[in-house]
Copies of this chain bind each other. A is one copy, B any other.
Protein backbone atom coordinates (compact mmCIF):
# COMPACT_ATOMS: atom_id res chain seq x y z
CA UNK A 1 0.00 0.00 0.00
CA UNK A 2 1.22 3.47 -0.76
CA UNK A 3 0.43 5.77 2.11
CA UNK A 4 -1.36 9.02 1.66
CA UNK A 5 0.73 11.34 3.81
CA UNK A 6 0.02 14.77 5.26
CA UNK A 7 2.64 17.10 6.69
CA UNK A 8 1.38 19.55 9.30
CA UNK A 9 3.96 22.18 10.11
CA UNK A 10 6.02 23.44 7.23
CA UNK A 11 9.17 24.55 8.99
CA UNK A 12 12.58 23.11 8.18
CA UNK A 13 11.79 19.64 9.60
CA UNK A 14 8.42 19.24 7.91
CA UNK A 15 9.63 20.51 4.55
CA UNK A 16 12.77 18.39 4.64
CA UNK A 17 11.23 15.02 5.52
CA UNK A 18 8.05 15.68 3.58
CA UNK A 19 10.19 16.82 0.67
CA UNK A 20 12.30 13.66 0.75
CA UNK A 21 9.19 11.47 0.70
CA UNK A 22 7.54 13.49 -2.08
CA UNK A 23 10.72 13.57 -4.17
CA UNK A 24 10.86 9.76 -4.00
CA UNK A 25 7.34 9.58 -5.37
CA UNK A 26 5.19 9.17 -2.29
CA UNK A 27 1.80 10.84 -2.11
CA UNK A 28 2.58 13.77 0.19
CA UNK A 29 0.34 16.74 1.00
CA UNK A 30 1.61 19.77 2.86
CA UNK A 31 -0.44 22.09 5.02
CA UNK A 32 1.24 25.45 4.45
CA UNK A 33 0.05 28.74 5.87
CA UNK A 34 2.28 31.80 5.48
CA UNK A 35 4.42 30.63 2.57
CA UNK A 36 1.75 28.98 0.41
CA UNK A 37 1.98 31.37 -2.55
CA UNK A 38 5.80 31.21 -2.67
CA UNK A 39 5.95 27.43 -2.52
CA UNK A 40 3.19 27.07 -5.10
CA UNK A 41 5.04 29.37 -7.42
CA UNK A 42 8.66 28.36 -6.82
CA UNK A 43 8.40 24.82 -5.55
CA UNK A 44 10.67 23.50 -2.84
CA UNK A 45 14.43 23.08 -2.90
CA UNK A 46 16.30 20.73 -0.59
CA UNK A 47 20.04 20.98 -0.63
CA UNK A 48 23.03 20.13 1.45
CA UNK A 49 25.35 17.26 2.19
CA UNK A 50 25.18 14.79 -0.72
CA UNK A 51 21.75 15.86 -1.89
CA UNK A 52 20.30 18.57 -3.99
CA UNK A 53 16.88 18.43 -5.50
CA UNK A 54 13.99 20.60 -6.45
CA UNK A 55 10.29 19.74 -6.36
CA UNK A 56 8.59 21.96 -8.91
CA UNK A 57 5.05 21.02 -8.01
CA UNK A 58 4.43 20.69 -4.31
CA UNK A 59 1.01 19.50 -3.19
CA UNK A 60 0.24 22.26 -0.78
CA UNK A 61 -2.93 23.57 0.77
CA UNK A 62 -3.93 26.16 3.29
CA UNK A 63 -6.47 23.96 5.02
CA UNK A 64 -6.52 20.34 6.07
CA UNK A 65 -10.08 20.06 4.76
CA UNK A 66 -8.67 20.37 1.25
CA UNK A 67 -6.20 17.59 2.02
CA UNK A 68 -8.76 15.22 3.47
CA UNK A 69 -8.17 11.82 5.12
CA UNK A 70 -4.63 10.41 5.08
CA UNK A 71 -2.92 7.26 6.32
CA UNK A 72 -0.02 8.99 7.99
CA UNK A 73 0.20 12.52 9.36
CA UNK A 74 3.62 13.90 10.14
CA UNK A 75 3.39 16.58 12.84
CA UNK A 76 6.23 19.05 12.61
CA UNK A 77 4.90 22.26 14.11
CA UNK A 78 6.80 23.78 17.04
CA UNK A 79 5.68 22.17 20.27
CA UNK A 80 4.63 25.67 21.32
CA UNK A 81 1.90 25.54 18.63
CA UNK A 82 0.31 22.27 19.72
CA UNK A 83 -2.93 23.85 20.89
CA UNK A 84 -3.26 25.44 17.48
CA UNK A 85 -3.34 22.15 15.59
CA UNK A 86 -6.13 20.47 17.56
CA UNK A 87 -8.76 21.68 15.14
CA UNK A 88 -6.62 21.06 12.07
CA UNK A 89 -6.17 17.34 12.59
CA UNK A 90 -9.76 15.91 12.37
CA UNK A 91 -10.20 16.43 8.59
CA UNK A 92 -7.06 14.34 8.08
CA UNK A 93 -8.35 11.34 10.02
CA UNK A 94 -9.87 8.10 8.89
CA UNK A 95 -10.30 5.20 11.25
CA UNK A 96 -6.70 4.05 11.16
CA UNK A 97 -4.81 7.27 10.45
CA UNK A 98 -1.44 7.31 12.18
CA UNK A 99 -0.15 10.50 13.76
CA UNK A 100 3.62 10.68 13.98
CA UNK A 101 5.13 13.62 15.86
CA UNK A 102 8.56 14.73 14.70
CA UNK A 103 8.69 17.29 17.48
CA UNK A 104 11.28 17.79 20.19
CA UNK A 105 11.12 16.94 23.85
CA UNK A 106 8.51 15.40 26.06
CA UNK A 107 4.75 15.65 26.01
CA UNK A 108 3.93 15.67 22.30
CA UNK A 109 2.83 12.03 22.04
CA UNK A 110 0.75 12.50 25.20
CA UNK A 111 -0.82 15.59 23.70
CA UNK A 112 -1.84 13.79 20.51
CA UNK A 113 -2.96 10.71 22.43
CA UNK A 114 -5.14 12.83 24.69
CA UNK A 115 -6.93 14.43 21.76
CA UNK A 116 -7.02 11.69 19.15
CA UNK A 117 -6.42 8.37 20.92
CA UNK A 118 -3.18 6.67 21.98
CA UNK A 119 -3.37 3.94 19.34
CA UNK A 120 -2.89 6.47 16.54
CA UNK A 121 0.32 7.90 17.92
CA UNK A 122 3.93 7.33 16.96
CA UNK A 123 7.00 9.45 17.52
CA UNK A 124 9.95 10.14 15.27
CA UNK A 125 13.11 11.50 16.84
CA UNK A 126 14.97 13.56 14.28
CA UNK A 127 18.72 13.74 14.50
CA UNK A 128 19.41 16.38 11.94
CA UNK A 129 20.87 19.81 11.49
CA UNK A 130 18.80 21.89 9.11
CA UNK A 131 18.32 25.51 8.31
CA UNK A 132 15.49 27.20 6.50
CA UNK A 133 17.51 29.32 4.12
CA UNK A 134 14.49 30.99 2.55
CA UNK A 135 10.77 30.38 2.26
CA UNK A 136 11.34 27.73 -0.38
CA UNK A 137 14.83 26.42 0.40
CA UNK A 138 15.88 24.08 3.21
CA UNK A 139 19.53 23.28 3.74
CA UNK A 140 20.76 20.21 5.58
CA UNK A 141 24.09 20.68 7.29
CA UNK A 142 24.50 17.30 8.83
CA UNK A 143 22.94 14.03 9.95
CA UNK A 144 19.38 13.24 9.06
CA UNK A 145 18.37 9.95 10.61
CA UNK A 146 15.07 9.34 12.34
CA UNK A 147 14.32 6.96 15.18
CA UNK A 148 10.73 5.80 14.98
CA UNK A 149 8.75 4.31 17.82
CA UNK A 150 5.24 3.64 19.07
CA UNK A 151 3.69 5.63 21.86
CA UNK A 152 3.45 3.51 25.00
CA UNK A 153 4.03 0.15 23.31
CA UNK A 154 6.69 -1.78 21.44
CA UNK A 155 7.07 -1.54 17.66
CA UNK A 156 4.17 -2.88 15.60
CA UNK A 157 3.95 -4.11 12.02
CA UNK A 158 3.08 -0.54 10.95
CA UNK A 159 6.21 0.83 12.64
CA UNK A 160 8.39 -1.41 10.50
CA UNK A 161 6.33 -0.52 7.49
CA UNK A 162 6.87 3.23 7.98
CA UNK A 163 10.58 2.69 8.58
CA UNK A 164 10.86 0.71 5.35
CA UNK A 165 9.09 3.42 3.40
CA UNK A 166 11.35 6.11 4.87
CA UNK A 167 14.43 4.07 3.99
CA UNK A 168 13.21 3.55 0.42
CA UNK A 169 13.02 7.31 0.14
CA UNK A 170 16.60 7.75 1.28
CA UNK A 171 15.94 8.65 4.90
CA UNK A 172 18.17 6.87 7.38
CA UNK A 173 15.85 5.30 9.86
CA UNK A 174 15.84 2.97 12.82
CA UNK A 175 13.22 1.61 15.17
CA UNK A 176 13.02 2.32 18.90
CA UNK A 177 11.97 -0.60 21.06
CA UNK A 178 11.12 1.94 23.76
CA UNK A 179 10.28 5.37 22.40
CA UNK A 180 10.12 7.05 25.83
CA UNK A 181 13.62 5.83 26.67
CA UNK A 182 14.91 7.24 23.38
CA UNK A 183 13.21 10.58 24.06
CA UNK A 184 15.07 10.80 27.38
CA UNK A 185 18.31 9.75 25.67
CA UNK A 186 17.91 12.63 23.22
CA UNK A 187 17.15 15.02 26.08
CA UNK A 188 20.45 14.07 27.70
CA UNK A 189 21.97 16.00 24.81
CA UNK A 190 19.32 18.66 24.12
CA UNK A 191 18.84 19.85 27.69
CA UNK A 192 22.44 20.95 28.25
CA UNK A 193 23.53 21.91 24.75
CA UNK A 194 20.37 23.66 23.54
CA UNK A 195 20.07 25.52 26.85
CA UNK A 196 23.68 26.48 27.51
CA UNK A 197 24.24 27.56 23.91
CA UNK A 198 21.66 30.31 24.41
CA UNK A 199 22.36 31.19 28.03
CA UNK A 200 26.15 31.28 27.64
CA UNK A 201 25.84 34.07 25.12
CA UNK A 202 24.94 32.42 21.83
CA UNK A 203 27.75 29.92 21.36
CA UNK A 204 28.08 26.61 19.52
CA UNK A 205 28.88 23.13 20.82
CA UNK A 206 32.61 23.48 20.16
CA UNK A 207 32.76 26.66 22.24
CA UNK A 208 30.85 24.97 25.06
CA UNK A 209 33.24 22.02 25.08
CA UNK A 210 36.29 24.30 24.93
CA UNK A 211 35.29 26.09 28.15
CA UNK A 212 36.15 23.93 31.13
CA UNK A 213 33.41 25.33 33.34
CA UNK A 214 30.69 24.98 30.69
CA UNK A 215 32.02 21.50 29.94
CA UNK A 216 31.57 20.70 33.60
CA UNK A 217 28.04 22.15 33.61
CA UNK A 218 27.19 20.09 30.53
CA UNK A 219 28.37 16.80 32.01
CA UNK A 220 26.64 17.51 35.31
CA UNK A 221 23.38 18.37 33.50
CA UNK A 222 23.61 15.14 31.51
CA UNK A 223 24.02 13.20 34.72
CA UNK A 224 21.03 14.97 36.22
CA UNK A 225 18.88 14.09 33.20
CA UNK A 226 19.97 10.45 33.28
CA UNK A 227 19.20 10.26 37.01
CA UNK A 228 15.79 11.83 36.36
CA UNK A 229 15.09 9.34 33.54
CA UNK A 230 16.02 6.46 35.83
CA UNK A 231 13.83 7.82 38.59
CA UNK A 232 10.98 8.04 36.06
CA UNK A 233 11.47 4.35 35.26
CA UNK A 234 13.53 4.60 32.07
CA UNK A 235 16.70 2.51 32.35
CA UNK A 236 19.14 4.89 30.71
CA UNK A 237 22.71 3.91 31.64
CA UNK A 238 24.94 6.59 33.18
CA UNK A 239 27.53 5.86 30.44
CA UNK A 240 25.27 7.74 27.99
CA UNK A 241 26.73 11.02 29.29
CA UNK A 242 30.31 10.11 28.38
CA UNK A 243 29.18 8.65 25.03
CA UNK A 244 27.34 11.81 24.08
CA UNK A 245 30.20 14.09 25.17
CA UNK A 246 32.57 12.04 23.03
CA UNK A 247 30.22 12.13 20.04
CA UNK A 248 29.80 15.88 20.40
CA UNK A 249 33.57 16.35 20.23
CA UNK A 250 33.51 14.91 16.71
CA UNK A 251 30.65 17.16 15.59
CA UNK A 252 32.63 20.37 15.24
CA UNK A 253 31.02 23.75 15.76
CA UNK A 254 27.33 22.93 15.76
CA UNK A 255 24.51 25.30 16.63
CA UNK A 256 21.70 23.51 18.47
CA UNK A 257 18.25 23.99 17.00
CA UNK A 258 17.01 26.09 19.90
CA UNK A 259 19.91 28.50 19.41
CA UNK A 260 18.96 28.80 15.73
CA UNK A 261 15.38 29.46 16.83
CA UNK A 262 16.61 32.05 19.32
CA UNK A 263 18.76 33.82 16.72
CA UNK A 264 15.84 33.90 14.30
CA UNK A 265 13.43 35.04 17.04
CA UNK A 266 11.25 31.98 16.56
CA UNK A 267 9.43 30.56 19.59
CA UNK A 268 11.56 28.34 21.85
CA UNK A 269 10.29 24.88 22.80
CA UNK A 270 10.98 25.49 26.46
CA UNK A 271 8.21 23.38 27.96
CA UNK A 272 8.91 20.36 25.76
CA UNK A 273 12.67 20.34 26.27
CA UNK A 274 13.08 21.68 29.82
CA UNK A 275 9.73 22.20 31.53
CA UNK A 276 8.13 18.79 31.02
CA UNK A 277 11.27 16.78 31.90
CA UNK A 278 11.68 18.94 35.02
CA UNK A 279 8.06 18.35 36.07
CA UNK A 280 8.38 14.60 35.49
CA UNK A 281 11.64 14.52 37.45
CA UNK A 282 10.03 16.41 40.33
CA UNK A 283 6.96 14.16 40.30
CA UNK A 284 9.23 11.11 40.51
CA UNK A 285 11.22 12.67 43.36
CA UNK A 286 14.42 13.30 41.37
CA UNK A 287 16.64 16.26 42.21
CA UNK A 288 17.45 18.33 39.15
CA UNK A 289 18.86 21.63 40.47
CA UNK A 290 20.75 22.61 37.31
CA UNK A 291 17.82 21.79 35.06
CA UNK A 292 15.57 23.90 37.27
CA UNK A 293 17.90 26.90 36.95
CA UNK A 294 18.16 26.48 33.18
CA UNK A 295 14.39 26.25 32.85
CA UNK A 296 13.78 29.39 34.92
CA UNK A 297 16.39 31.37 32.96
CA UNK A 298 15.25 30.25 29.51
CA UNK A 299 11.63 31.03 30.26
CA UNK A 300 12.54 34.50 31.44
CA UNK A 301 14.83 35.21 28.48
CA UNK A 302 12.14 34.10 26.09
CA UNK A 303 9.55 36.32 27.78
CA UNK A 304 11.89 39.33 27.80
CA UNK A 305 12.65 38.79 24.13
CA UNK A 306 9.00 38.48 23.18
CA UNK A 307 8.27 41.72 25.02
CA UNK A 308 11.07 43.40 23.04
CA UNK A 309 9.67 42.04 19.79
CA UNK A 310 6.20 43.37 20.54
CA UNK A 311 7.71 46.73 21.47
CA UNK A 312 9.70 46.82 18.24
CA UNK A 313 6.70 45.94 16.11
CA UNK A 314 4.46 48.54 17.74
CA UNK A 315 7.04 51.34 17.53
Contacts and interface: CB of A to CB of B under 8 A. Distances in A.
A214 B301 contact: no
B201 A296 contact: no
Contact of A196 (B202, B216, B297): B297
Contacts of A293: 217, 220-221, 290, 293-294
B290 A211 contact: no
A211 B305 contact: no
A201 B301 CA distance: 5
How many copies altogether? Answer: 2
Contact of A300 (B201, B220, B297, B299): B201
Contact of A200 (B211, B214, B224, B301): B301
Contacts of A214: 296-297, 300
A304 B217 contact: no
A300 B211 contact: yes
Interface in A69-99: none
Interface residues of A, number: 29
23 contacts: A199-B301, A200-B296, A200-B300, A200-B301, A201-B301, A201-B304, A201-B305, A203-B300, A203-B304, A207-B300, A211-B300, A213-B296, A214-B296, A214-B297, A216-B292, A217-B293, A217-B296, A217-B297, A220-B289, A290-B290, A290-B292, A293-B293, A293-B294
Interface of A: 196, 199-203, 207, 211, 213-214, 216-217, 220-221, 224, 289-290, 292-297, 299-301, 303-305
Given A203-B304, A217-B292, A221-B293, 20 more contacts: A199-B301, A200-B297, A201-B300, A207-B300, A211-B299, A211-B300, A213-B292, A213-B296, A214-B296, A214-B300, A216-B292, A217-B293, A217-B296, A220-B293, A289-B290, A290-B292, A290-B293, A293-B293, A293-B294, A297-B297
